[in-house]
Each structure stands twice: as C-alpha cells, then as structure tokens.
Amino acid sequence: MSGVNTAGWRPSMNSAEGGVSVPETQSGDHALMLEEPLIFELGCEGQTGVDFDAPAKAVSPALAKFRRKAAPAVPGLSEPEAVRHYTRLSRQNYGIDLGPFPLGSCTMKHNPRLNEKMARLPGFADVHPLQPQKTVEGALEVIEQLADWLITLTGMASVAMSPKAGAHGELCGLLCIRAALDARGETRDVVLVPESAHGTNPATAAFAGFKVETIPATPEGRVDLAALKAKLGPDVAGVMITNPNTCGLFEPEMKAIADAVHAAGGYVYCDGANFNAIVGRVRPGDLGVDAMHINLHKTFSTPHGGGGPGAGPVVLSEALAPYAPLPFVARGEDGHVHLVEEENRGEGHARAFGRMVAFHGQMGMFTRALAYILSHGADGLKQVAEDAVLNANYVLRSLEDVLQAPFGKSGPCMHEALFSDAGLPEGFTTLDIAKGLIDEGFHPMTVYFPLVVKGAMLIEPTETESKPGLDRFIASMRNLAQRAREEDASLHSAPHFAPRRRLDETRAARKPVLVWKADARA
C-alpha cells in the first residue's frame, strides 16, 4: 500500500481532533490493515498443506495422453498461511455486518440469522433436484406456502417460482405476455419503458425480441402519462414500469397508466425490485399490474450480492396466469403438494410457454424468504415498508440543505433519497463524495444512476438501519459536502485510508487484468 497522504484532511465525527501524519512502513502494513500479496506471490514451489498418497495403480495407457507435462501452476502454502491469507483479505472487504450498504435501488439490508438457521436444516440445505418427489414433500410445501404469501401480498392470481433473479423474472413476464399475444393471434413488437425504470427493463425487452420506446419523465420525476398515451397503438405489447420508480418516487397515476395500456390491448409489467417500499401497504394487482417479479433477495432479506444467489418469482394476473412456465407446484386432490411437470400439467396450464430453467427451485432462497415472512407476519411486513420509507425521508430532509435534491419538492420520497452534484463547486463531483465516504468508513451509495439526474447519488438506507446509525452516516455526508464547498483538494484523491488509493476506473474497465502471470510482475 502506498503512503497515506493526508494533506487537507479534516477528521469528522468519531475521529481524533487535528490532522494526522502517517509514516511509511517498510512492509507497507498499517497496524491491523495488512498489505496482502496475491496468493501466487505468497506460495512456494514444493510446499503444501495437504499430503496426497501415491496412486495405487498405474495410469491407464488410454489416459496417458492427458498426463501433465509440467506441474500445475498452483501456489504452495501451508494450512496456516492459506487461512491467514483469506482472513486478511476478508478484513479488506466491506459487509453488511460492518455497516450499512446505502446502495439505491438495491435494498441491501440485514439478514436475520434465524433465516440462515432455517436454510441450514436437513431437508432444505441438502435437497437435490433429482430426488424423487416423495422424498422432498417438505421442500415442496415450503415453495407452496411462499407462493401463497406472494400471491396474497401482491393481490395477483398466480406466481411462477422458477425464475432465478430479477432480470430472469422480467424475461419470464415478457414471455408470458408474448404467449398471451400469440394466443390472441396478434403481433405486437413494441414495449414502452419510462426513463425512470431500472436499466434491466429495456435490456430484457430487447433480449425478448421487442423494440423499446422510451417514455419521458415529468419535471417531478414521474411517468409522463400524456406522452405514454400518445405512444399507445396496435403495435404496443405493453409497458415495463418500475414502481416505486428509480427516482425513489411512487407513481400515483399507476392505475391510469394500466387502464390506458389495457384499453390499447397491451399488458402491464411492473419491476418489483422496489417492493420493499410498499410491501403490506400496496397490492400491485389492485393497480392493474399483469406481471411483476419479486426479488426475494431484496424485499425478503435473503443474501444479496456477489453475483448471487437470488430468486425472482413472477406474480401474474388472471390474464397471464395460464401462460406461466413449467414446472410449478400445486396441491393435488390427495392433499399433498406436487411438482407439476410437462407430462402432468393438465388442461388448466396447457398454454404454458415452456421452461425457464432445468430445475425448479432455489431452496435456500425460498426457505429464508418464508422464514422472514412468517417471523414478521402481515403487520410486521407493513412496518418494514413504513420504516424503510421513514428512514429514506429522514436522510432526504437531513441532507437537502447541503446537497441538491432534484425531486425534494415533489413530496416525500419512498425507499430511497436522490441527490445530485449539481450544487457542488466546479470540479467537485459525485465521485469525490463517494470516494470520500470510503474514508469515513462507509460503502459508497449508488452513483450516476438514475441517468435522468446529473451526477446522481442514490441512497437507500432500508428499514434495518437505526437512527444513531443513520445520524452517523448523515454526519459523514454533511462533512463531505462541507469539504467540497470549501474546495478541499484532498477530496479529489480520496480515499486516503483504504487498502488502495483511487484507481483509474476507466483504464480498469477497458483494460482489466484478470489473470495472474508470473512474467507480468515486472
């Protein structure tokens, strides 16, 4: 790690008074923040923490061509060295157990340990998709109970449980819409997507073979209903709308939007990634929604991030329910829950568009989500939404005097507060605030999204953050805004106290180095 340059640095709350000067160390280590080489650089040839017995039999001549000509280039470490390496790396990471993840539109909240205990019970943790159905009846019961809760909470007719995550759920909903249009003998190839929708919406629509047309936002950050109505016609398959939207605002004209789309012969897809803000308070089915995915790993507190795992069940209206994909769970006449496959789907599901996945469930996600729902109950889930909205509005009103809030006058926000760098002095940007947050001990907020706001800073505190925790975050944000107003040049080189200084992010994106090569060390 390079030496820490603290020029211009002024500590904020919980820091020692006055400036500090951190000397260089020969090792690059700073107390418990240790400089960690790559594991390849630590390892020594011929060293290992595992002993392997010599093979009892000679290698078959038929396999001789596969024999290695040289030893594999794997690092050689003793067991303590390997354990310490990964432990030291873990200390350089940031997790929800260290502090808040204020990522907007991502709902990164605490995962109750009760959920983890349930997911690790025998019969859930060790279930295998190829087991006979009679050996996994308990798991199927969990899926059926969770499905029933999702239908109840959304006011929809049915749910497809097989999609693996948000965008996968979007694809499922659009394929249901296409199947319904095919059944009507209609060819509609346009999907309308508001500017305030999640970025995956237009990408998924294009992937499903639709043309995407954008609907502008009003100055208040909501869908322009008149502009949407002007684009409705016989070629429109439907609209993909995020509600609450990515500006952190509820769409009050959602029912009018749905009525207009239905009158034009289209369907309404709602992106349910922000369901955490309205769960228990608003049923999307009552607003005219035909399909909506639900990110279990957001609203219902299953592990989130790192590329998975995830689950994105899709709730469907009566109009789209017959086209839901296989397989699905259903309670039979014998009172038991069965997994319905192609050969036994029955007349009621004869129009299913096909399969989304080879196997049905993400049992870890389903078990955690059901545990979360049952431990809260309907009233508790309502409080989840109310507390999430309360926390976001507390952040919004606590910072709007030091950071520009582009929609602050549009009324209360929902689950997230949106700010802009437009009010900062010239030369100071959202990136400076985000990098400065790392020095303050926080993970940065979502930056430069949504695109409808210049230099966007999108903050979602979630309901699991306490007021003292939010006060600490707010104080850090106010300190950074004050430093920017005073044109503190040290913000341009933040972070100063992280394991690494500010990276050249453009070069990292365009010329990433993803593979370690021994001859590249020079």
Residue 176: pLDDT band with limits 50, 70, 90: very high
Amino acid at 401: D
Q: Which residue has the higher pLDDT, 515 or 346?
A: 515
3-class secondary-structure state, position 30: strand
Average pLDDT over residues 251-268: 98
By DSSP bridging, strand 190-194 and strand 236-242 are parallel
CA–CA distance, 26 with 377 (Å, rounded to integer): 57
Spatial CA neighbour of 104 closest among 490, 464, 467, 392: 392
Q: Which residue has the higher pLDDT, 340 or 5?
A: 340
Question: Residue 418: its pLDDT value, please?
Answer: 97
Spatial CA neighbour of 476 closest among 142, 102, 210: 102
Instruction: Answer yes or no: is pLDDT of 166 > 80.
Output: yes
Residue 11: pLDDT band with limits 50, 70, 90: very low
The position carrying tokens 């910072």 is 399
Question: Residue 453: its pLDDT value, please?
Answer: 94
CA–CA distance, 432 with 272 (Å, rounded to integer): 31
Chain segment 181-213, per-residue pLDDT in tens: 999 999 999 999 999 888 899 999 999 999 999
Region of poorest pLDDT, from 90-104, 138-152, 436-450: 90-104
Please, which residues bridge with residue 190 across strands?
A: 211, 236
Average pLDDT over residues 11-30: 56
Chain segment 385-401, per-residue pLDDT in tens: 999 999 999 999 999 99
Tell me the torsion sign for CA atoms 461, 464, 466, 467: positive
- Report the mean per-residue pLDDT for the chain: 89
Average pLDDT over residues 1-8: 38
Question: Residue 210: its pLDDT value, please?
Answer: 97
Rounded to whole angstroms, what are the CA distances from 45 to 86, 90, 383, 517? 19, 25, 58, 15
For residue 358, how far is the Cα from the chain centroid?
23
41: phi then psi, degrees, rounded to nearest 5: -80, -25
Which domains, ranges and CATH numbers included, belong to the chain? 114-369 (3.40.640.10), 382-510 (3.90.1150.10)
Instruction: Answer yes or no: is pLDDT of 173 > 90.
Output: yes
What the block records as the tokens of 85 is 């390496």
By DSSP bridging, strand 417-419 and strand 457-459 are antiparallel
The position carrying tokens 């040049």 is 489
DSSP per-residue codes, 414-466: SS-EEEBSTTSPTT--HHHHHHHHHHTT----EES-STTSTT-EEE---TTS-
Region of poorest pLDDT, from 17-21, 288-292, 420-424, 502-506: 17-21
CA–CA distance, 145 with 372 (Å, rounded to integer): 13
Question: Residue 100: its pLDDT value, please?
Answer: 92
Residue 32: pLDDT band with limits 50, 70, 90: confident
Residue 8: pLDDT band with limits 50, 70, 90: very low
Average pLDDT over residues 263-283: 97
How deeply is 466 buried, as exposed, middle or buried, from its count of CB atoms within 10 A (0-12, 13-18, 19+)?
exposed
Chain segment 55-97, per-residue pLDDT in tens: 888 888 888 888 888 877 788 899 899 999 999 998 888 888 8
131 Cβ neighbours under 8 A, 6+ residues apart: none
Chain segment 37-46, per-residue pLDDT in tens: 889 888 887 7
Question: Residue 522: its pLDDT value, please?
Answer: 41
